[in-house]
Amino acid sequence: MSVPAPLPARRRWLPLGLAGLALAVGLLAWWRGSATSLAAAVPDPVTPEMAAPVRRALASAREAVLAAPDSGSAWGALAEVCDAHHLYPEAEQAYRGAAAREPGEFRWAYGLAVVRDFQGAAAEEVSGLFDAALGLAPRYPPARLRLGDALVRQGRLAEACAAYEQALALDPEFALAHRGLGQTRLALDDVPGALAALERARELDPTDGVTASSLAQALQRAGEPERAGEAAARARELEPVFAVPDPVRFALEARNVTPLACDRRAREHEARGEWSAARPDLERLLEMSVEMQGDDPALRTRLARALVALGEHERAAAELARALELAPDHVAALTEAAGLAQARGDLARAAELYRRATVRAPESALLWKRLGACLGPLGDLPGALAAFERAAGLAPADAELLHNWGTALARAERHAEACERLRGALALEPDSAGAHLSLGASLALLGRRAEALQHYERAAALDPTLPTAEALAELRR
Amino acid sequence: MARIPWSWSCGACWVVVGLVAGCSREVGAHAAEAGWFTDVSTAAGLGFVHASGARGQHHMPEVMGGGVALFDAEPDGDLDLYCVNGNGKLPAAERDPAGASAFYRQEAPWRFIEATREAGLADGLYGMGAAVGDVDNDGDEDLLVTHFGPSTLFRNQGGGRFVDDTARAGCAGGGWSSSAAFLDLERDGFLDLFVTRYVEWQPKDCFDQAGRPDYCGPKAFPPLHDLLFRNDGGSFQDVSRAAGVAALAAAGLGVVCADLDQDGWQDVYVANDAYANHLWHNRGDGTLAEEALQRGAALNLSGQPQAGMGVVAADLDGDLAVDLFVTHLREETNAFYRNRGAQGFLDATGASGLGPASMPWTGFGVAALDLELDGDLDLAIANGAVFHRPRVPGAELPGPWADYAETSLLFRNEGGGRFADASARGGALTARPALARGLAAGDVDGDGDLDLLVGRIEDRASLLRNDAPRDGHHWIALRCVHPAWRRDALGARVEISAGGKRQVQVLASSWSYASSSPPVASFGLGAAAEVEECLVTWPDGRRERFLALEADRAHVLLHGTGGE
């Protein structure tokens, strides 16, 4: 019998190598297949028509899921971004993915219940999902309220009443739960119970138009048509309140980066002077504006205002320069740019910008006042006085204006008139140390020493850092 | 003497009570098919395709038109069709000779020919809806077309020839009108006119919740108040301010007129988009008082104003009180306001089964009709989105429209105010996703059940033959005509008793969305072969009793010929 000759070393390794290669190819195919099926399982709602920040937010949340497919948080974040943009089928899919990976996380179970409710899912499913969420956070009143609302939509009114009552057991001052309870009791023909709950809701939030209209209906049913008519008239005057005080959903809504949502949030922050919170939304809005409608000088001006408040003067100046390039007569941009120049000590530039603004908005007392405040220190006293006079003609009851105007008149050595303006300023703001000081100086120069002394003393009392000592010593002699 | 139209294919088959006898008609002419509605448009010669004029700029009127009308224009006894069209002139409210609403005359059973110019109904303004009524009591129906812009009144000269008489009639109004309804508000025998108006639209960039350019919602613009025109014997006077209607502006879309509190005077209910609905209570002195809030018909059960589009007034729960059903936007439920008499209305949507099933869709046109002729009213709802939505499987419209297409709905009345979703049996009504808007119902073939005409944005209008199974059920159709007025008594309340069951309907031509239908009370009678008693409350307050009306026939009840 012949014995096969031993294979040379290289040939001995060949089958092993081929097997390894096959294994590697197999693994690669498995991995690619697995990646493909994962990619297919992760919702992809991005379409080219969406605004760029929305596309980015969705794509980045999706990429995070693909990078960490076992992360419940990544799936949940994707769900919330979809939910915030009302992409409910995709949000539902991602919430399910998140809940499968983090079954103990309330936010995913709650989000799923809410989006299924929004999609009109069957009664059993919706109440089951809310029950599951409440199992994870039984002491979260907004979820009880939303369950009540969902049960109302499903026509399960007695259960809805129970849900509202549970919300009130957790938070007795939850106006919307009282309101829901009242409305549901009315539907169940419990008119006295409805009136009691609705009256309580009105006590807690007298501004809610929805409560007022429900009260109108309850009063009509209670046989009080006149009071019902009054309540209906009141309801028409009031705005309806729909926003549920729900921190979980509030946090989610912050993920909405559409122009409407960004603008609403930015305006809220701007009104409260929360500039660092306003800034990202203003940046997004600007980006979307450039992309969709063309550059917007008003948005650049709003962003510049936030940047000024945050101390980023260079960037603010650049935004304002661009705004004025786009719209050289844009009053808000001119005003903001002038304010920035003034703050940086460039009064000549500020005065020039204010002048341009007053040409476009001659009825703005603020612009004339600020122009006067720049011209005075620049030595243009006639210009300053003319500007202050124009401002006073438009809005005379302005303490700052009267103070500045009085000071300018004093510099022009028109002390009697200065005293008149400064007294006017003090009538509006009796504790203005600066106005007392200026008035004291003019009175002294007019030779009215006793009165001057009184105002110097008052100025010193209000602000001991003011340079009053020398004048006081002189007047007391 | 009033001419009595609609004889259908068998000749003068209306039985004019107290005057002449007519003929009967075989019941169940169409065998039941897989679906209850069969699209017969192509075979019938209805080739109308709606053109919104959209060019990607998302002009809001583009998604709000599409009204339709079913009426007997000649009158020769059969129903003719009118389909309202857009034009290419937006954002201007200008006439465009290329934009053409279309009139189709019924030449033979289920055979229509386009006869717009011949009938004098060419209308190049950007159309929204249509309303039908005999404004001069001359025995033929006149047609009002609402527009994005002034309305047009086409006066019927007789024989189905119309003339634009708007200027003389004084009912052009202005702004963006949507639905309109004729009613005898003052009981003087002449039909007054109520026109809903929407918003002061102008081009504006709007975006959906995902930041995509999209159509604006109504809150993006100031709302307009509705208009009320008093008919002074064939011509109109705008009395909106004097009557109180001008006091409230609220993006009105659908309208229906009925005596909702049975005080003898017709009230007006308006479905407002994103604002509280209006229930204009007729005080009987020519003025109207808005009382929807107190009466529970303004807001949903949670106190929220919804996006009211279409509306129908019908007894949906069989308690002989006229309820209201309003169609709404996606993510809202449609609303069923149950009329509880002195206790006002109650939003009974949740308990009715009509709520969550409607949440995925945006409802516009709606019809209450007895599909199986079993003695209760079912609901057909025409759906189509106004904003981008997740694509519905089977949506095949061109361009961006597939992202707005929705399937329509059919609900079967299970009695006691409960409904079951029967959309799976809707056939051509519910099979194909579209942007359905206008919906009119009328018995096109005289077989006792109501057929449908559906207007669709950027799509062909559909004439849908009702082929629902009947199981041997009987029917009766009742017109109420006032000989002195020479027209249908819009607003009459018709209550019948058959086989121990009582039913009620009110006669109106305008309900649904921007659409008009024949004012006929069409009852399914179940197994009853006779209506033992019919009690008519006429718009002038007179009540008359008609006895022993034979089933499976259409009858004309003449004012003054019934018993006390």
How does DSSP assign B135-158, residue by residue?
TT-SSS-EEEEEEBEEEEEEEE-S
Of B291, B305, B355, the CB nearest to A155: B355
Within 10 angstroms of residue B461's Cβ, the number of other Cβ atoms is: 26
CA distances from A391 to A374, A385, A402, A411, B201 (A): 14, 10, 10, 19, 38
Cα distance between residue B103 and residue B493, in whole Å: 30
Which of helix, strand or coil describes residue B540? coil
CA distance A46 to chain B (A): 9
With contacts defined as CB-CB under 8 Å, which chain B residues touch A126?
A: 356
Cβ of B294 within 8 Å of Cβ of A229? The answer is: yes
Low-confidence residues in chain B, pLDDT < 50: 1-13, 18-33
Which DSSP letter does residue B285 get? S
Locate tokens 């017109």: which residue? B479
3-state helix, strand, coil in chain B (%, to 5): 10, 40, 50
- A34 band by pLDDT with thresholds 50, 70 and 90: low
Q: Check whether A301 has a pLDDT greater than 70.
A: yes
Dist. CA B211–CA A81, nearest whole Å? 13
- A-chain CB neighbours of B303 within 8 Å are 179, 183, 210-211, 213-214, 240
Residue B211's nearest CA partner among A291, A51, A57 is A51
Query: How far is residue B391 from each of residues B207, B405, B548, measured CA to CA in Å?
Result: 18, 8, 53
Q: Measured between CB atoms, does B299 come within 8 Å of chain A?
A: yes
Tell me how close the Cα of B536 comes to any Cα of chain A, in angstroms.
30
The verdict on whether omega for the bond into residue A247 sits within 30 degrees of 0, i.e. cis, is no
Q: Is B26 on the interface with A (CB under 8 A)?
A: no
Tokens 């950027």 sit at which residue?
Answer: B458
Residue A292: its chain B contacts at CB < 8 A?
Answer: 205, 213
Distance between CA atoms of residues A294 and B37, nearest Å: 49
Confidence category of residue A104, pLDDT binned at 50, 70, 90: very high
Write the burial class of residue B364 (CB in 10 Å: 0-12 exposed, 13-18 middle, 19+ buried): buried
Q: Which two tokens stand for residue B175?
A: 């702004």
Instruction: For residue A200, name the pLDDT band (cuts at 50, 70, 90).
Output: very high
Locate the chain B residue with the closest alpha carbon to A262. B211
How many Cβ pairs closer than 8 A exist between chain A and B?
128
> Whole-number mean pLDDT of chain A?
92
The predicted model gives A19-38 an average pLDDT of 71
At residue A294 the predicted structure's pLDDT band, cuts being 50, 70 and 90, is: confident
* Type of residue found at B379: L
Pairing of strands B474-482, B553-558: parallel
DSSP for residue B175: S
How many CB atoms are located within 10 Å of the residue A141 CB? 21
Q: Let me know: does A223 contact A197? Beta carbons within 8 Å.
A: no
Contacts of B220 in chain A (CB under 8 A): none
Q: In Å, how far is A345's CA from the nearest CA of chain B?
A: 41
- For A160, list phi and psi in degrees, rounded to 5: -65, -45
Q: What is the DSSP string of A93-108?
A: HHHHHHHHH-TT-HHH
| Span A382-397, average pLDDT | 95
Contact A258 B209 (CB under 8 A): yes
Residue A45: CB partners within 8 Å, gap ≥ 6? A58, A82, A85, A87, A90, B210
Closest in B213, B299, B390 to A49, CB measured: B213
Give the CA distances from residue A217 to residues A188, A238, B286, in Å, rounded to whole numbers and listed in that order. 13, 16, 25
Distances (CA, A) of A268 to A193, A225, A256: 37, 40, 15
Quick one: CA torsion of B293, B298, B301, B305, rounded to 10 degrees? -120
Q: Exposed (0-12), middle (13-18) or buried (19+): which is B307, by Cβ within 10 Å?
A: buried
**How far does CA A45 lie from the centroid of its chain?**
26
CA pair distance B296, A216, nearest whole angstrom? 9
Do residues B25 and B552 lie in contact, with contact meaning Cβ atoms separated by under 8 Å?
Answer: yes
pLDDT number for residue A12? 66
Mean pLDDT along residues A397-416: 94
Residue A236: name the closest of B478, B71, B90, B278 by CA: B278
Give, in order, the Cα–Cα distances in Å from A189 to each of A157, A218, A230, B293, B298: 11, 10, 22, 17, 18
Please tell me the predicted confidence (pLDDT) of residue A23: 79
Measure the CA–CA gap between B267 and B57, rounded to whole angstroms.
Answer: 39
Cα A78 to its chain centre, rounded Å, is: 22
Q: Is B356 helix (H, G, I), strand (E, B) or coil?
A: helix
Write b or e for each residue in B108-134: b if 16 or more Cβ atoms lie within 10 A of its Cβ, otherwise e.
eebebebbbeebbbbbbbbbbbbbbbb
Identify which of A5-14, A252-261, B492-501 has the greatest average pLDDT: B492-501
> How far is CA A184 from each of CA A64, A156, A162, B226, B340, rounded to the nearest angstrom?
43, 10, 10, 32, 16
DSSP state of B286: S
**Cα–Cα distance between B67 and B510 in angstroms, integer?**
11
Report chain B's C-alpha Rg in angstroms. Answer: 21
Q: How many helices (H) and strands (E) does chain B have?
A: 6, 41
C-beta separation of B226 from B176 below 8 A: no
Does B416 reach chain A within 8 Å, measured CB to CB? no
Taking contacts as CB-CB distances below 8 angstroms, the residues of chain A near B381 are none
CA angle centred on A132, ends A128 and A137, rounded to 5°: 140
Which residues are registered as beta bridge partners of B10? none
- Beta bridge pairs of residue B69: B82, B516
Q: How far is A134 from A342, CA to CA, in rounded Å?
A: 57
**Cβ of A51 and B344 within 8 Å?**
no
Rounded-to-integer distance, Cα B455 and Cα B387, Å: 18
Q: What is the pLDDT of residue A15?
A: 73
pLDDT at residue number B23: 34
Interface predicted TM-score of the whole assembly (ipTM), two decimals = 0.84
Min Cα distance B330 → chain A (Å) is: 9
**Contacts for A1 with CB less than 8 Å, ≥ 6 apart:** none
Residue B160 CB neighbour total at 10 angstroms: 21
Residue from the list B207, B291, B303 with its beta carbon closest to the beta carbon of A214: B303
pLDDT band at A112 (very low <50, low <70, confident <90, very high): very high
Spell out a b/e string for B497-519, using b for 16 or more CB atoms within 10 Å of the CB, else e: ebeebebbbbbbbbbbbbbbbbb
- State how far residue B301 is from chain A, nearest Cα, in angstroms: 7
pLDDT value of residue A1: 37
Structural contact between residues B303 and A214, judged by C-beta atoms closer than 8 angstroms? yes
Chain A contact for B348 (CB, 8 A cutoff): yes
**Residue B297 to residue B288: CA distance in whole angstroms:** 16
Calpha distance A223→A215 (Å, rounded): 12
Q: Kindly give, in sequence order, each residue whose CB lies less than 8 Å from that of residue A181, ignoring residues fewer than 6 positions away.
A: A148, A161, A164, A165, A168, A197
Other CB atoms closer than 10 Å to residue A260's CB: what's the count?
A: 14
Backbone conformation region of residue B486, classed left if phi is above 0, alpha if psi is from -120 to 50, else beta: left
Please give the Cα distance from B272 to B259 (Å, whole number): 19
